[in-house]
Structure 1
Amino acid sequence: MLQNVRWGEPNMVEAERRLLANALLDFSNQRFVLLSEACIPLFNFSTVYNYIMASTKTFVEAYDLRGPVGRGRYNPRMRPQIRLEQWRKGSQWFEMDRALAVEVVADQKYFPVFKRTCRGSCYTDEHYLPTFVSIKFWRRNSNRTLTWVDWAKGGPHPTKFVRQDVTFELLEKLRHGSECEYNGKRTNICHLFARKFLPNTLDRLLRFAPKIMQFNS
């Protein structure tokens, strides 16, 4: 049965939980990555696979943001299950292991609170997973996302990249332009994916991929 999903509404997270539930039915699936049609890989398959499978942590971005688009979205009616100091914000684009995926699908304590009280400008997809993971599984989480997004222009949506934006310099920046921690060590490989890339970028991406991303290896 088809169900409508609307941006920012709890039903978007419900859809993510259904995706996880179906993916969990295959016991060979050990890691789960949420991507969209506007996401691109930044490395070849073997690099992405080895990075994810060897990680000792999950990748759910979570941070405490003061102000109207962070703590300002908290609803006091969420108490006592969720307190203001537990409220977190983060990217919708997650990577998690099987153990965490099972917990997300099985959650009957926190998601119903979001479904009941996180409406309108609350944006469940930006707060449910960061809050849930930070409350229960913060020791296993890296507090960062593997999907690079450009928010430099401000507004409710990230930058959309078109054909002429795709350059060697941009792709190298996305691949190695930041520093983070991975399995207790510093690395300059922090993002495995990036968004939002429009369909007209495909031609240039395919031309650059063999040389920059080693997609043929």
Structure 2
Amino acid sequence: MNNTNKPMVTSHPGSRLLKAVLLLLLFPLGFIMGMISMANFPHFYESPIIPPILLSSSLAPSPSATPMPTPTPPSPSPETQCLCPPPLSSTPTPSSPSPPPAERPATPRGLMSFITPSGVMHDMTDDELLWRASMAPKVSRTPYTRVPKVAFLFLVRNQLPLRPLWEKFFAGQKHELYTIYVHSFPPFAATLPTDSVFHGRMIPSQRTTWGDANLVEAERRLLANALLDQSNERFALLSESCIPIYDFPTIYTHLTGSNNSFIDCFDNASARVRYKPDIFTPHNITISQWRKGSQWFEMDRALAVEVVSDEAYFPAFRDCRRCVIDEHYIPTLVSILGWRRNANRTLTYMEWQPKNPHPRRHGAEDVTVELLMKMRGGAGNNCTYNGAASNVCFVFARKFSPDSLGPLLELAPKIMGFG
């Protein structure tokens, strides 16, 4: 029997080991390639595309395997920004115009919004207002063209009966030269037309009482609001019974050209009778510093900052009852500060009556050429201005009753130079 030698197909152990090693090498290699492709094409593998781990485990797909259809990427939701690049196309697709950005209210920015406030109304408390107004720049050179303004501070009760006369006074004048602030006994009774220079000029106000501390608080409130406008250089306190006795250019030049403030400030026996040692001595206010003067002042910006920032002396005046502190606080503060730039007189003319704490009230029958000329001439006073003799002692006058408006409007063009 012949035995034919046929080769036997045997599986060598080494070949099986080699296949196993190759499979072990291919699996991590596929995993690494998948991770690299995910890093380079992060959106290629987004669901429902086959994850890279399945691709790496089936490098040699079965011939019978059905190719998977190319998935369509999901449309982005309206809330999510699309990060995928647009599909390539031989025909460019016209783009839709982008919707305009939503309009937002303009926010004041820059230096000018700080220099000149757009209005006088705000929601600051008195403490916040005084703190804000007490800020004073240390750099004297301004980085803008500064035109000094005169701030007209009207401390009134509930109306402005002489407003038509003041409207004539301000008519035709540049708004860059003046500002108006009104502190009124709430509520303000007058209905102002929109074209009035007083329209929109009422500051946040509180109740006032003659001779009370709240009257001085109102003065400080007026000064503080005016100090927010960096261009205000001179500050004149007026009442509803005050009138101008010169035209605007004359008063503006007189105030802005002065080297001094005009605070009535004197020391005599009638002034010292209101000094209360038990109240003022603990606050370091001595009787030798005690002063009296007219409430109606005109001051420069430096002194106005001192008034609104005073925390050392005003509390004593606020605690004093029946002291008529509107006649004592600012004159005494000027004395304590040793303020040299003061003329020691007021610019508001008044006729005082014997044994009467209030000046004379002028009615319609009193308004004459002689009265106005007497007021303009200073009634025999010898006045100085910047160290030289001057024939202008007063630029305002009071007290004029509401019925005096008609004669005043008639005489203003002839005597005062306006209207």
Q: Any conservation in 2 of the 1:95–1:146 contact (CA below 8 Å)?
A: yes
* Cα 1:56/1:109, change in 2 over 3 Å: same
Map 1:4-43 onto structure 2 (within 5 A).
Answer: 4-43=207-246
How far residue 161 of structure 1 moved from its aligned partner, in angstroms, is: 0.4
Correspondence for 2:397: 194
Q: Which amino acid aligns with 2:401?
A: L
Correspondence for 2:337: 136
> Structure 2: how far apart are the matches of 1:149 and 1:73?
22
Q: Which amino acid aligns with 2:329?
A: Y
* Cα 1:132/1:169, change in 2 over 3 Å: same
SS of the residue 1:138 aligns to = coil
Count of residues paired in the alignment: 212
Q: Which amino acid aligns with 2:262?
A: F
Once the two structures are superposed, what CA deviation does each residue of 1:154-198 show, in whole Å capped at 9, x if it has no partner?
312111100010110110000013321110011121100000000
Q: Any conservation in 2 of the 1:179–1:189 contact (CA below 8 Å)?
A: no
Map 1:154-169 onto structure 2 (within 5 A).
Answer: 154-169=355-370
Correspondence for 1:182: 385
> Structure 1: how far apart are the matches of 2:238 and 2:253?
18
How far residue 153 of structure 1 moved from its aligned partner, in angstroms, is: 4.0
SS of the residue 1:206 aligns to = helix
Which residue, out of 312, 323, 332, partners 1:109? 312
Correspondence for 1:79: 281
Moved over 3 A (4+): none
User: Per residue, is there more helix in 1 or in 2?
Assistant: 1
Q: Which amino acid aligns with 1:148?
A: Y
Map 1:140-151 onto structure 2 (within 5 A).
Answer: 140-151=341-352
Correspondence for 1:58: 261
SS of the residue 1:160 aligns to = coil
Identity of aligned residues (%): 57
TM-score where L is the length of structure 2? 0.49
Once the two structures are superposed, what CA deviation does each residue of 1:25-44 show, in whole Å capped at 9, x if it has no partner?
11111110000110000100
SS of the residue 1:181 aligns to = strand
The Cα RMSD (Å) is: 1.2
- Higher RCO by CA contacts (8 Å cutoff, separation 6 or greater): 1
My pick for the range that moved more, 139-148 or 173-182, is: 173-182
> Structure 2: how far apart are the matches of 1:175 and 1:129?
26
> Structure 2: how far apart are the matches of 1:162 and 1:179?
28
> Structure 2: how far apart are the matches of 1:63 and 1:10?
21
SS of the residue 1:7 aligns to = coil
Work out whether 1:3 is the aligned partner of 2:206.
yes
My pick for the range that moved more, 158-167 or 207-216, is: 207-216
* Cα 1:105/1:2, change in 2 over 3 Å: closer
Q: Which amino acid aligns with 1:28?
A: S
